[in-house]
Amino acid sequence: MASAPVITIDGPSGSGKGAVCAVIAERLGFALLDSGALYRVLGIAVHKAGVDLANHQAVAKLAGEMAIEFGRNGPDSVQLNGEDVSLAIRTDLGSDMASRVGAIPAARQALHERQLAFRQPPGLVADGRDMGTVVFPDAQLKIYLTASVEARAQRRYKQLIGKGIDAILPDLLRDLKERDARDSQRPVSPLKPAEDAILLDTTDMTLENVIARVMEFVQQRLPQVASQ
C-alpha cells in the first residue's frame, strides 16, 4: 500500500509555520504533526525530571518513554504523562529547552519513530525544522517558510501576549537569534531547506496570503487531494 501523502512545512520560529499548517491540515482533512511541540514537551520533561542535558542517553530515554497526548482539552492542548503542559511548553523556558534537546542526536533519533507514526490516511501536514530533509524526505510537497528575524520576533510577541504570557520584545529578538544560530549550526538535522523545497519569504505577507499561496502549491502537486 502506498504511504499516505505528506506536506512538510519547515522554517525557523515565528515564520508562521504553526498557523499555516493548522489551517492547511483542517482544509484538507489531514492530520497535523507539530514536531516543535514534541521537542518542547521533551524539554519540559527533562526540566521536570531534573535530567542533566549532558546526559544524552537519559534525555533519549525520556524521549522514548514520555506519554504525550495532543488535543484532549482543545486543539492546542498537550498532556505530558497526564499533566497539562500546554502553557508551559510555550514559555521562554519551553522554547529554550526544546532547542537544547533538539541538538542531542540520540533525542532526535528517539523522536523520529514517534513522528513517523503521524503519517496516516488521508494524509499529514508536518510542521518543523527537518520534516522535509530528514523525517519525511519523500513528501509530495515541501515548503520552507522564512521571514526576517525582526518580523518573527514581532509575531512571537503578539502570540505570547494573546495567550496571556508576559513578553519583552528585545528579549524575544535576542532569544530568537540565539535559537536560530543553534538550530541551524547543529551537526544533526540542522535547520535548512530541503533541496526540493519551495521557499516562501513571509516577511511582508499576511497569514491569509501565505495560506492562499500554499493552497496553490497543494493544487499543483496534489490535485486529487485539493479538489476533494
Instruction: Return residues touching ligand DC (CB under 6 A).
Output: 13, 35-36, 39-40, 95, 98-99, 102, 128-130, 179, 183
89 or 225, CB closer to ligand DC? 89
And the C-alpha cell for 95? 522554547
Task: Give how far Cα 24 sits from Cα of 33, 124, 207, 221, Å.
Answer: 12, 10, 12, 14
Q: How many Å apart are CA 47 and CA 114, to the nearest integer? A: 21
126 or 225, CB closer to ligand DC? 126
Contact 106, 79 (CB under 8 A): no
145 or 211, CB closer to ligand DC? 145
What is the number of the residue whose Cβ is closest to ligand DC? Answer: 36
30 or 136, CB closer to ligand DC? 136
- Angle separating helix axes 207-221 and 17-28, nearest 10 degrees: 50
And the C-alpha cell for 36? 516543535
Q: How many Å apart are CA 135 and CA 111, to the nearest integer? A: 10
5 or 128, CB closer to ligand DC? 128
- Angle separating helix axes 35-49 and 105-116, nearest 10 degrees: 130
Helices (H), 11-55: 17-28, 35-49
62 or 183, CB closer to ligand DC? 183
Task: Give how far Cα 179 sits from Cα of 2, 50, 70, 213, Å.
Answer: 37, 22, 25, 27
